[in-house]
Structure 1
Amino acid sequence: MLQTVQSQHFQALLGRIGTLHLPDGSALQIHIEHLEEQPAAKMRYSERMPFNVELRSLEPTEFVDGLCALELPEIGRVQDIFVSRVPPMGRDPQLGYFHITFN
């Protein structure tokens, strides 16, 4: 299922609130903040354009990284998306900032 995820699936979610389903079974409300395609990282025979997605939690969280699930338009719930936390770097340190890479 992960190989079918394209950047277009996240386009409709940009600027919106969603729910990230964490590995422990809990749910975290997130804001989908940024999407960036990475053409320089495209493999020669790959169909998918690599891309990155940046998320921000709406509440404080201890979650650092792991395999999560997220609802995507046209696909539904996608499991086993690896989400990793990034430093706040001048942003609100109470919130969680996350990064997803699709190669």
Structure 2
Amino acid sequence: MLQTVKSQHFQALLGRIGTLYLPDGCALQIHIDELAEKPLAKMRYSERMPFSVELSSLQPTGFIDGLCALELPELGRVDDIFVSRVPPMGRDPKLAYFHITFN
């Protein structure tokens, strides 16, 4: 299922609030902040353009990283998406910021 996820699935979600389903079953409200395609990372025979997604939490959380699930347009719930936390780097330190990479 992860191989079918493309940047277009996240395009419609940019700037919107969504739910990230954490490995422990909890639901975390997140904002989809940024989407960036990575053409220099594309492998020769791969059909998908690599891309990354930046998310931010709407409330404090202790979640660091792991396999999560998201609802995506046209695909429904997609499980086993590896989400990793990134440092706040000048942003509100009470909230959490996350990164997803699709190669």
TM-score range, shorter chain: over 0.9
Q: Tell me the residue number matched to 1:4.
A: 4
Q: Which amino acid aligns with 2:56?
A: R
Q: Which amino acid aligns with 1:51?
A: F
2:45 equivalent to 1:29: no
Q: For each residue in 1:41-80, what CA deviation from the matched residue of structure 2 results, as whole angstroms up to 9, or x when unmatched?
A: 0000000000000000000000000000000000000000
Q: For each residue in 1:12-51, what CA deviation from the matched residue of structure 2 results, as whole angstroms up to 9, or x when unmatched?
A: 0000000000000000000000000000000000000000
Q: TM-score, normalised by structure 2?
A: 1.00
Q: Which amino acid aligns with 1:17?
A: I
Structure 2: give runs of 5+ residues left out of the alignment: none
Q: Which amino acid aligns with 1:32?
A: I
Q: Tell me the residue number matched to 2:56.
A: 56
Q: How many residues align?
A: 103
What RMSD over aligned residues (CA atoms) do the two structures have, in Å?
0.2
Q: Which amino acid aligns with 1:50?
A: P
Shift of 1:93: 0.3
Q: TM-score, normalised by structure 1?
A: 1.00
Runs of 4+ with >6 A deviation: none
2:101 equivalent to 1:101: yes
Q: State percent identity of aligned pairs.
A: 83
Q: Which amino acid aligns with 1:25?
A: G
Shift of 1:85: 0.1
SS in 1 for 2:9: helix
